[in-house]
């Protein structure tokens, strides 16, 4: 038997990403691991409700943007108040795709990763 633990995203600017995930999704840091030689930092973010974590990995020597290919993968989040979430994300300018027929939309984080926003059903 297996259970979900976390997903990882590599980021170029850790502080910018932490600020984005806090403002856009209310995720907060739950744990941090720093390499002894300062070559990487891992920061785990949680939603305060579920056990699932988002791990952000920062690599000191990485300078170029990550190649996300066709960006056909994403993480999904349920919004308790979909309309308020939409208004916030519109104000932040991070909505990158909307599917009104399905009642969902996607936001992009500072590194271009797509995050699906789903209404509570």
Residue 50 sits in a domain of what CATH number?
Answer: 3.10.180.10
Structural domain containing residue 42: 6-60+73-119
- pLDDT for res 85: 98
pTM for this predicted structure: 0.94
CB within 8 Å of 48: residues ≥ 6 apart: 26, 28
Cβ atoms within 10 A of the Cβ of 38, count? 8
Mean pLDDT of the chain: 96
If one counts the domains in the chain, the total is: 1
Domain contains 65: no
Domain contains 40: yes
CB within 8 Å of 114: residues ≥ 6 apart: 71, 73, 74, 96, 97, 106, 107, 108
- pLDDT for res 102: 97
**Tens digits of residue pLDDT in 14-57:** 999 999 999 999 999 999 999 999 999 999 999 999 999 999 99
Domain contains 86: yes
Domain contains 51: yes
């Amino acid at each position: 038997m297996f259970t979900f633990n976390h997903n990882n995203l590599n980021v170029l600017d850790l502080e910018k990403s932490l600020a984005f995930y806090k403002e856009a999704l209310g995720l907060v840091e739950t744990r941090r691991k720093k390499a002894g030689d300062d070559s990487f930092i891992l920061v785990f973010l949680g939603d305060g409700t579920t056990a699932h974590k988002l791990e952000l990995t920062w690599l000191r020597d990485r300078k170029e943007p990550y190649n996300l290919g066709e960006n056909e993968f994403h993480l999904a989040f349920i919004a308790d108040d979909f309309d308020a979430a939409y208004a916030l994300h519109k104000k932040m300018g991070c909505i990158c795709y909307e599917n009104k027929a399905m009642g969902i939309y996607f936001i992009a984080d500072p590194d271009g990763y797509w995050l699906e926003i789903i209404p509570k059903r």
